[in-house]
Chains A and B, each alone.
Chain A
Amino acid sequence: MSQTLSGGVQHPAIIAVAIGYFVVVALISVWATRRTKTAKDFFVAGHGIGLVALTVASVSTSVSGFAFIGGPGLIYTIGLGAMYIVLPASVTNVMGAWVLAKRMRLLGEARGLMTIPDAIGARYRSPAAQGLSGVAILIGILGYMATNALAMGVVIDAIFGVGLGWGIWVGMGVTLAYSVAGGILAGIYVDVFQGTLMAAASVLVFLAVLKVGGGLAGISTSILAHDPSFLSPWGKITPLAALSFFFVFGMGSLGQPQGVHKYYMLKDPLQLRWYPLLKTLGLILVLLLYFGVGVGVKSLVARGALTPLSAPDAATPTFLLRFTPVLLAALVFSGVAAATMSAVNSFINIAAAVVTHDLPIALGRKPRNELAWGRISTAVLAVAAALLAQLSGSMVAFLGIFGWGLFACTLVPALAIGLNWEGATKEGAIASIVTGLGVTLTFETLNYFKAYTFPTGVTVSGLSLVLSILVFFGVSWLTRVRAQAGIDPDVRLVMSV
């Protein structure tokens, strides 16, 4: 019999661990609130986070609840093809360090910048580009926050049995409390706490998978006897579809605001030296569960030790409740709740910065009292996301689909390539952002309403990313006479070191 989260996982030990989690989160919030005195503290932790804390928090933000519930379920369904979502992690962290970390951190050093649209505005001397990128981020975040609010509701309902509606509001209430009070500082240290526990839990679950499955060779042997295509390098999807995953999650990582924004926060820029190595190792540990449970459960089903799952998302809950000590299961379930909360905190903070900082600048107004307005915006955005999650039914899934792709196609060309290429122009940046927004929103909407579907192997996110890159190059080339004049000397220096 398989166990889904929506079927409930109530158990005294699981409830106790979850309550313990929330108590620790509350204590961290109180501590962070006392240290949050300015907008810079609220949005970028005062540029004062150390290397280890930033690394663990960054790992934690990179893996949402999807890595523990949806991801293993996806592997169970489509085999190794689902690994192309996480395989780029071997390259993306160091790529982000080379392409963005230094330049973002130095822009923070030179101008005290706080947001990603800030960097785009400074690079192109363009409030329009800053505002447009802010709008793109807001649209993407709206979907992400609503889906995470819903996921939070599902997990909290599963643990405490309070019902989905209450689950959403309890989860959002806890997240809101620490987001409003302690801003990103609370978020960072909650992430450190949660990320550490999740890495430990992931390793322990992986070891449990190997023990139950008879090692990786035993797992493979069981699967090959029943379903060999599961272990083909593309799993059950086409090579084009698998490679498309790799492209979107590899190249697209350079446009994810929850990761890129953190570059501003590092206390000492020279500590970037070890950041990619530590983050990559941390990610590998956390992702062991993603791979292990996915193939492990498939092997258990193949050899008849488990009945086929009622739903792919049942893979992790079923394995944990059947094959691991209840304390470890409790740790993972609470960790999933905490992961969704940390994702919401991170996104709320970025969205609040767009509303209180970037959009006023784009409209030609000077942001005032950003700390107070940041807190107010945070509360309003959180309530809006919870309402959206509760009221919009299946539309929430639609909103969540395009978040990653939208960030990728609107930010990778203008930010990641633009900060490294003096030949890029503001016209190219604006055109690429508009292209990304237009293509993604149009085709995801058509796809959702089944009015038009791309052929097998083509994803909206992949196509919009490659189109926005080509438009960026093309328009920048057409307007190249203005390229050099459009860069301030300090920004030029940041781009050249």
Chain B
Amino acid sequence: MAKRFALALLLAAALAIAAAYASAFLPGGAPSWAPWPMALGIPAALVGVMVLGASRDGRVGRLAIPFAFSALVLGGGFAAALALPATEAPGVPLYLGLPLRAAVVLYGIGLFPIVVLPIAYALTFSEQTLNADDIERVRLAGLEWARGRDAGAPPSAAARPSTPEVIPAAPGART
């Protein structure tokens, strides 16, 4: 389910970005709406590909929250930069040293996701990304594949050496 959603999001994002680029070829150049599909397509593409990579058994579990947060921060940040009036001028109030729209982009888009995404990745790593059992299963599958190939099954393009090495167990793997 999560993968289908991610693929649909990615495809829609690619179409939106393509539309933004295509609009620039119109007579008179890019229309005023041109940045909008790009501004919404980019967060959709990035979040879509993250969901695609993170989904396991068709689910992203607790990661749904940080992914939604990222979409909101990136999309909201770009939208705010596009929609807020241009007030950059001498004497305007500064937010952490920057005019409002620049602060939204630099701190919102540039820093907010750092606080959330890598930490969410680390906290959900064992359940959602990788654990010692996974590594062991993959090793065994690799050895099985190599045996099959040596026994005459059709080879694939990339291969481990024909005599499988004795591979030590992964640190922490169940034996």
Task: Identify the A interface with B (CB < 8 A).
Answer: 80, 83, 87-91, 93-95, 97-100, 102-103, 106, 109-113, 118-119, 121-122, 124-127, 129-130, 215-217, 219-221, 224-225, 228-229, 231-234, 238-240, 243-244, 246-247, 250-251, 254, 268-270, 272-274, 276-277, 280-281, 284, 361-362, 416-417, 420-421, 423, 454-458, 462-463, 466-467, 469-470, 473, 488-491, 493-494, 496-497
Q: How far is the CB of A276 from chain B (nearest CB, A)?
A: 4
Q: How far is the CB of B9 from chain A (nearest CB, A)?
A: 12
Question: Quick check: A456 and B135 within 8 Å, CB to CB?
Answer: no
Beyond A231-B98, A239-B39, list 14 extra A-B contacts (CB 8 Å): A110-B142, A112-B160, A122-B157, A130-B158, A220-B99, A224-B92, A231-B102, A232-B88, A247-B17, A270-B135, A273-B125, A455-B24, A458-B24, A497-B137
Name A119's closest neighbour in chain B (CB-CB).
B158
Bound state CA distance, A100 and B119, in angstroms? 18
Question: Quick check: A99 and B138 within 8 Å, CB to CB?
Answer: no
Question: Quick check: B105 and A224 within 8 Å, CB to CB?
Answer: no
Question: Quick check: B18 and A466 within 8 Å, CB to CB?
Answer: yes
Residues of B within 8 A of A225 (CB): 90
Bound state CA distance, A219 and B102, in angstroms? 13
Interface set, chain B 123-149, CB cutoff 8 A to A:
125, 129-132, 134-135, 137-139, 141-142, 144-146
Bound state CA distance, A233 and B109, in angstroms? 11
Name B135's closest neighbour in chain A (CB-CB).
A269
If A109-B138, A216-B98 touch, whether A361 touches B158 (CB-CB below 8 Å) is yes
Residues of A within 8 A of B135 (CB): 106, 109, 269-270
Residues of B within 8 A of A494 (CB): 138, 141
Question: Quick check: A268 and B122 within 8 Å, CB to CB?
Answer: no
Q: How far is the CB of B31 from chain A (nearest CB, A)?
A: 10
If A121-B157, A361-B158, A456-B29 touch, whether A220 touches B94 (CB-CB below 8 Å) is yes
Q: How far is the CB of B27 from chain A (nearest CB, A)?
A: 10
Q: How far is the CB of A254 from chain B (nearest CB, A)?
A: 7
Question: Quick check: A417 and B49 within 8 Å, CB to CB?
Answer: yes
Q: How far is the CB of A86 from chain B (nearest CB, A)?
A: 8
Contact of A272 among B30, B129, B137, B142 (CB under 8 A): B129
Question: Quick check: A87 and B94 within 8 Å, CB to CB?
Answer: no
Contact of A111 among B96, B114, B158 (CB under 8 A): B158
Highest count of chain B CB atoms <10 Å: which of A239, A244, A462: A239
Contact of A91 among B10, B46, B52, B145 (CB under 8 A): B46
Question: Quick check: A217 and B49 within 8 Å, CB to CB?
Answer: no
Question: Quick check: A98 and B50 within 8 Å, CB to CB?
Answer: yes
**B15 interface residue (CB < 8 Å to A):** yes
Q: How far is the CB of B79 from chain A (nearest CB, A)?
A: 11
Residues of B within 8 A of A91 (CB): 46, 70, 74, 113, 117
Name B132's closest neighbour in chain A (CB-CB).
A270
Bound state CA distance, A416 and B49, in angstroms? 8
Residues of A within 8 A of B64 (CB): none
Question: Quick check: B144 and A489 within 8 Å, CB to CB?
Answer: yes
Bound state CA distance, A456 and B79, in angstroms? 21
Name B55's closest neighbour in chain A (CB-CB).
A420
11 contacting pairs across A/B (C-beta < 8 A) = A87-B109, A102-B130, A111-B142, A112-B160, A125-B156, A231-B98, A244-B38, A270-B131, A272-B125, A416-B49, A489-B144
Residues of B within 8 A of A111 (CB): 142, 145-146, 158-160
Bound state CA distance, A224 and B101, in angstroms? 13
Residues of A within 8 A of B81 (CB): 233-234, 239
Contact of B138 among A90, A112, A497 (CB under 8 A): A497
Name B104's closest neighbour in chain A (CB-CB).
A233
**B152 interface residue (CB < 8 Å to A):** no
Q: How far is the CB of B41 from chain A (nearest CB, A)?
A: 8
Bound state CA distance, A95 and B21, in angstroms? 24
Residues of A within 8 A of B99 (CB): 220, 224, 231-232
Question: Quick check: A224 and B89 within 8 Å, CB to CB?
Answer: yes
Q: How far is the CB of A260 from chain B (nearest CB, A)?
A: 13
Question: Quick check: A94 and B24 within 8 Å, CB to CB?
Answer: no
Q: How far is the CB of B29 from chain A (nearest CB, A)?
A: 6
Contact of B114 among A112, A118, A284, A489 (CB under 8 A): A284
Question: Quick check: A224 and B138 within 8 Å, CB to CB?
Answer: no
Q: How far is the CB of A295 from chain B (nearest CB, A)?
A: 9
Bound state CA distance, A85 and B43, in angstroms? 15
Bound state CA distance, A362 and B157, in angstroms? 8
If A109-B139, A361-B158, A458-B21 touch, whether A80 touches B130 (CB-CB below 8 Å) is no
Q: How far is the CB of B44 from chain A (nearest CB, A)?
A: 11
Question: Quick check: B49 and A121 within 8 Å, CB to CB?
Answer: no
Name A83's closest neighbour in chain B (CB-CB).
B106
Name A94's closest neighbour in chain B (CB-CB).
B117
Residues of B within 8 A of A113 (CB): 158, 160
Residues of A within 8 A of B68 (CB): none
Bound state CA distance, A277 and B115, in angstroms? 9
Question: Quick check: B52 and A497 within 8 Å, CB to CB?
Answer: no
Question: Quick check: B90 and A233 within 8 Å, CB to CB?
Answer: no
Q: How far is the CB of B58 from chain A (nearest CB, A)?
A: 10
Residues of B within 8 A of A243 (CB): 20, 35, 38-39, 42, 78
Residues of B within 8 A of A244 (CB): 21, 38
Name A277's closest neighbour in chain B (CB-CB).
B118
Q: How far is the CB of A179 from chain B (nearest CB, A)?
A: 24
**B5 interface residue (CB < 8 Å to A):** no
Question: Quick check: B46 and A102 within 8 Å, CB to CB?
Answer: no
Question: Quick check: A233 and B101 within 8 Å, CB to CB?
Answer: yes
Question: Quick check: A238 and B30 within 8 Å, CB to CB?
Answer: yes
Residues of A within 8 A of B20 (CB): 240, 243
Q: How far is the CB of A465 from chain B (nearest CB, A)?
A: 9
